[in-house]
Structure 1
Amino acid sequence: MDLARAIIDRAEAVEPVIGAFTYRYFETALDAARDAEARYSGQGGESRALDGLFVAIKDAGHVAGQPTSAGSLLTNVDPQPVTSPINTRILEAGGIVHARSATPEFSCSSVTWSRRWGVTRNPWNIKMTPGGSSGGAAASLAAGTATLATGSDIAGSIRIPAACCGIVGYKPPRGRNPVDPPFNLDFYCHTGPMARTVADTLLFQNVLCGLHPADPTGLPRHRISAEPDAQGLRIAMSRNLGFYAVDAEVERAMEDAARRFRDLGAIVEEIDLPWGWDVIDAAMAHLHTIFGTSIAPENSTDWELMSPYARDFAAAGLRITPREFLAALTRAGRMGVELNAAMAGYDLLICPTNALPSVPADLDVSNGTVEIGGTSVPALLGWVMTVPFNMLSTRPAISIPFGQAANGVPIGMQIVGRSYDDDTVFAAALAFESAAARPAWPDPSIQLTQA
């Protein structure tokens, strides 16, 4: 109960600053914590893997009896009749759902704000975004208002906010964790764990994985049993994946990360990738076709209720042609061949998660650009380096913190594995984390008093 009260007290103090939560269930969470405490003391049955842990569930998937807003004014407040597969796993393992975490509208932005819930802010610097679309999840973990959180990742929505908020986020390989239909049929889309440490992320991932009757695309359960070990690993490093403009602070942090891996006994060598901005063009064609079309309202009057970035994303979906979608699939196929060739003889690839530590919290990604080192890039995906590994969806990718920018915002690194090789990714991430010193966790309530 001490942990439960500490988390709820912390949330009451900092939520007015960061806005990480949409719906809150603090009273029922306290009841669940009492039950968990009884199980731990041997008075209430056998304890479970997540007993007593407070899990912020993204306000995009469903929990029976709770509403799901998806950050939109177009959704109603009726309780959902069924629970999403990934959330079923959490509840069955004893996880306590004390809150739903904020998302941009329909999860279609790399920053987290919506007309329904307002702006979610980064606990390390409240002027900046926690990233998106699982921004509320990452902000809550960084601020200490959750012990675990769920994310979904169709273009980087777990890894982008993990990097911005100095926490850990894992995009598992396709099929590893169950996904709600129809996005279980979209190979870009994944569900996954977010936590404050790699070890906690591993624990959570082992709860979430495996076959589920609601998702016929899933894979049999694979429990990761990695120990911290980078000795002898051959690691390919790319500073820019061939085409991104990368901030100077991120570049310097990547050099430090490579040195740290070498100190741990790994061999780190830079590689060249033959990728260009056509990768992002292909990704946007794919995302607009499936994702954009899925959120497009049928009622013409509903369009005006949408946040501007969601409205533009949906409209773009209705303009995409079948030929453009086919070209996007073709480009993704070539990318896989190209990465296989570039990584021949290597166990892992490391690269920045985001090319820029963060962007302003209220940035409208539908309007304008972001500047990195004098280069203007698209505001939605131009500053994040995650989407290539949604296109190459069988490759696991974890984002771990490995530096901090001058404005206080953390910097994240992706560790990308060979297809379905979760274990090597986690072994390397555990080893890196064990050798790294990290700054004290932020206190956004202090920032509010100083603003």
Structure 2
Amino acid sequence: MSTPSSGLVRLTAAELAQKIHSGEVSSVEVTQAHLDRIAAVDGGEQGVHAFLHVGAESALAAAELADARIAAGEQPASPLDGVPLALKDVFTTTDMPTTAGSRILEGWQPPYDSTVTARLRAAGIPVLGKTNMDEFAMGSSTEHSAYGVTRNPWDRTRVPGGSGGGSAASLAAFEAPLSIGTDTGGSIRQPAAFTGTVGVKPTYGQVSRYGLIACASSLDQGGPCARTVLDAALLHEVIGGHDERDSTSIDRELPAVVEAARQGATGDLTGLRVGVVRELGGEGYQPGVRAAFDASLRRLEKLGAEIVEVSCPNFEYAMAAYYLILPSEVSSNLARFDAMRYGLRVAEGRSAEEVMANTREQGLGPEVKRRIMLGTYALSSGYYDAYYGQAQKVRTLIGRDFANAFAQADVLVSPTAPTVPFPIGEKVDDPLAMYLNDLATIPTNLAGVAGMSLPAGLSEGLPVGLQVMAPALGEAVMYRVGAAFEAARDADEGGPLIARVPEVVSA
């Protein structure tokens, strides 16, 4: 007998896959239930606004193909065949617009799919639509989208984090069981922390950047977002792996993250060393965040892990280095949006230069312009070595800090973000205060190592995230720790924290 559609949206991706592949429900039913949920809670002045575009027709067509495969007795195209997903609007899609949250790409229909999009299609995963984001992935609150702010389902007066706030909010609002984000300095993990969901930044180069609109090419990394660690692992194995079209793609076998997540769920971390990073705590962290983190350490210890303190002295300079490297790469990457070939063109001016200047003035938002100016200055003649060059040296030192820390511990942990979700508008006009949200997440991007955020608990009734970091290509141990922690937390709390999202967003 079919599960009522209202209940389908509350199931995990793994549960939905089992029901679809057994024939208990159809992919069309599941996909339509999520489309109905989006229609009920995403629009209107106080709606979540997780989506910029909903592709109902193409999603249902993909669901019909999944159902036909199952009805014919074929093997599922993947373990997630037929389970729908929300895609951050920074990955190119031939059947939906791709705007990167910017007016300069308003209505742009790409002529090709990103590798991530293509792998989702090959896996039989219906794409529900494209999610809202800070413009060109520059921001920590999704307030810098040209198409309006996304609201946090836990409290719709607060931000869902950024830049991938739409992807995270779609999960917390039960509009999608899975989503895809990108992480340049925390844009998967910080929204996960703010919405009580799971977000993973894989090792740099493990998920292809082909067809991912670039923010900072040496930092950008796509990754899975979900409501459980196992669901994230299942999606990780779909989108990860070598891609010859991406010159930075790692030509190595993908870690067995699904197996690791299943093993971790048994709840035994005996003999595993967990390193607490001294520099990712203390001043600037809200008391409730600190309390949730301390409780997380006790929980890990109870699971058999050995807690050790490690020092990463150069993390102190990570933010300064990041905000030289990132804007420098932004300045270079965004030069392609010139009004000459595609995207917005403001036909005002007597020369190509004037048209370009007027288009960029009207088509790019203030945060993007700020970072372009910072980067152009840092790369300018006479300043390159003093700014960009020095920042790259700091990046090398941060990589060494990680190497030393991982010699002492199997994984490292910290709070994901220093605060709970903050009110909409509170920090939007204070760039430095906004940048400080990524204090704990930036070092992993600079070093290219792996990181995960998962729910640690609640403070003031709002989610707090636990960050677990692992060496490059060390995702298996990270998923094992994450799944063990999740199982213990759910047992202690009487169920997953996501079940406590206020019913005010119910359909």
Task: Please report the TM-score for the alignment, with normalisation by the length of structure 2.
Answer: 0.81
2:239 alignment counterpart: 208
| 1:104 equivalent in alignment to 2:134 | yes
1:66 alignment counterpart: 96
Deviates more, 1:433-442 or 1:210-219: 433-442
Larger Rg: 2
| 1:178 equivalent in alignment to 2:190 | no
Give the CA RMSD over aligned residues.
2.3
Kindly indicate whether the alpha-carbon contact (under 8 Å) linking 1:163 and 1:413 is maintained by their aligned counterparts in 2. yes
Q: Which has the higher helix share?
A: 2
Say which SS state the counterpart of residue 427 (structure 1) adopts.
helix
Q: Tell me the CA shift for residue 294 of structure 1.
A: 2.3
Q: Tell me the CA shift for residue 64 of structure 1.
A: 1.7
Match runs of 1:28-427 below 5 Å: 28-42=58-72, 45-49=74-78, 50-114=80-144, 116-180=146-210, 183=214, 186-219=217-250, 220-224=252-256, 225-226=259-260, 227-228=263-264, 229-238=268-277, 240-241=279-280, 245-275=284-314, 277-295=316-334, 298=338, 299-301=356-358, 302-321=360-379, 322-323=384-385, 324-363=387-426, 365=428, 367-368=429-430, 378-382=433-437, 384-393=439-448, 395-406=449-460, 408-427=461-480
Q: Tell me the CA shift for residue 385 of structure 1.
A: 1.5
| 1:10 equivalent in alignment to 2:37 | yes
CA distance in 1, matches of 2:214, 2:393: 20
Kindly indicate whether the alpha-carbon contact (under 8 Å) linking 1:111 and 1:131 is maintained by their aligned counterparts in 2. yes
Q: Tell me the CA shift for residue 243 of structure 1.
A: 7.1
Kindly indicate whether the alpha-carbon contact (under 8 Å) linking 1:279 and 1:331 is maintained by their aligned counterparts in 2. yes
Q: Tell me the CA shift for residue 149 of structure 1.
A: 0.8
Say which SS state the counterpart of residue 149 (structure 1) adopts.
strand
Kindly indicate whether the alpha-carbon contact (under 8 Å) linking 2:56 and 2:129 is maintained by their aligned counterparts in 1. yes
Say which SS state the counterpart of residue 151 (structure 2) adopts.
coil
CA distance in 1, matches of 2:427, 2:219: 24
Deviates more, 1:290-299 or 1:168-177: 290-299
Say which SS state the counterpart of residue 105 (structure 2) adopts.
coil
Kindly indicate whether the alpha-carbon contact (under 8 Å) linking 1:142 and 1:441 is maintained by their aligned counterparts in 2. no
Kindly indicate whether the alpha-carbon contact (under 8 Å) linking 2:255 and 2:473 is maintained by their aligned counterparts in 1. no
Say which SS state the counterpart of residue 236 (structure 1) adopts.
strand
Q: Tell me the CA shift for residue 426 of structure 1.
A: 0.8
CA separation of 1:402 and 1:239: change in aligned 2, threshold 3 A: farther
2:13 alignment counterpart: none
Letter of the structure 2 residue corresponding to residue 360 of structure 1: P
CA distance in 1, matches of 2:53, 2:125: 17
CA distance in 2, matches of 1:242, 1:255: 11
Q: Tell me the CA shift for residue 210 of structure 1.
A: 1.2
CA distance in 2, matches of 1:311, 1:184: 13
CA distance in 1, matches of 2:327, 2:108: 28
Q: Tell me the CA shift for residue 274 of structure 1.
A: 1.5
Kindly indicate whether the alpha-carbon contact (under 8 Å) linking 2:132 and 2:145 is maintained by their aligned counterparts in 1. no
Kindly indicate whether the alpha-carbon contact (under 8 Å) linking 2:41 and 2:505 is maintained by their aligned counterparts in 1. no
Letter of the structure 1 residue corresponding to residue 388 of structure 2: F
Q: Tell me the CA shift for residue 185 of structure 1.
A: 8.8
CA separation of 1:442 and 1:294: change in aligned 2, threshold 3 A: farther
CA distance in 2, matches of 1:12, 1:358: 25
CA distance in 2, matches of 1:441, 1:92: 31
CA distance in 2, matches of 1:440, 1:141: 9
Say which SS state the counterpart of residue 397 (structure 2) adopts.
helix
Kindly indicate whether the alpha-carbon contact (under 8 Å) linking 1:240 and 1:246 is maintained by their aligned counterparts in 2. no
CA offset digits 1:27-46 (Å, max 9, x no partner)? 33223222222222336x43
| 1:433 equivalent in alignment to 2:490 | no
Task: Please report the TM-score for the alignment, with normalisation by the length of structure 1.
Answer: 0.91
Letter of the structure 1 residue corresponding to residue 219 of structure 2: Y
Q: Tell me the CA shift for residue 420 of structure 1.
A: 1.7
Kindly indicate whether the alpha-carbon contact (under 8 Å) linking 1:356 and 1:383 is maintained by their aligned counterparts in 2. no
Kindly indicate whether the alpha-carbon contact (under 8 Å) linking 1:143 and 1:444 is maintained by their aligned counterparts in 2. no
Q: Tell me the CA shift for residue 445 of structure 1.
A: 6.7
1:373 alignment counterpart: none
CA distance in 2, matches of 1:115, 1:249: 29
Kindly indicate whether the alpha-carbon contact (under 8 Å) linking 1:139 and 1:165 is maintained by their aligned counterparts in 2. yes
Say which SS state the counterpart of residue 113 (structure 1) adopts.
coil
Kindly indicate whether the alpha-carbon contact (under 8 Å) linking 2:207 and 2:221 is maintained by their aligned counterparts in 1. yes
CA separation of 1:12 and 1:281: change in aligned 2, threshold 3 A: same
Letter of the structure 1 residue corresponding to residue 227 of structure 2: R
CA distance in 1, matches of 2:71, 2:106: 41
CA distance in 2, matches of 1:244, 1:334: 23
CA distance in 2, matches of 1:244, 1:63: 43
Kindly indicate whether the alpha-carbon contact (under 8 Å) linking 2:55 and 2:96 is maintained by their aligned counterparts in 1. no
Say which SS state the counterpart of residue 402 (structure 1) adopts.
strand
Letter of the structure 2 residue corresponding to residue 144 of structure 1: F
Q: Tell me the CA shift for residue 272 of structure 1.
A: 3.2
Deviates more, 1:437-446 or 1:163-172: 437-446
Report how many residues are paired.
Answer: 438
CA offset digits 1:21-72 (Å, max 9, x no partner)? 00111133223222222222336x4322121111111101101232211111
CA distance in 2, matches of 1:104, 1:179: 18
CA separation of 1:39 and 1:171: change in aligned 2, threshold 3 A: same
Q: Tell me the CA shift for residue 331 of structure 1.
A: 0.1
Q: Tell me the CA shift for residue 340 of structure 1.
A: 2.6
CA distance in 2, matches of 1:238, 1:303: 42
Letter of the structure 1 residue corresponding to residue 375 of structure 2: G
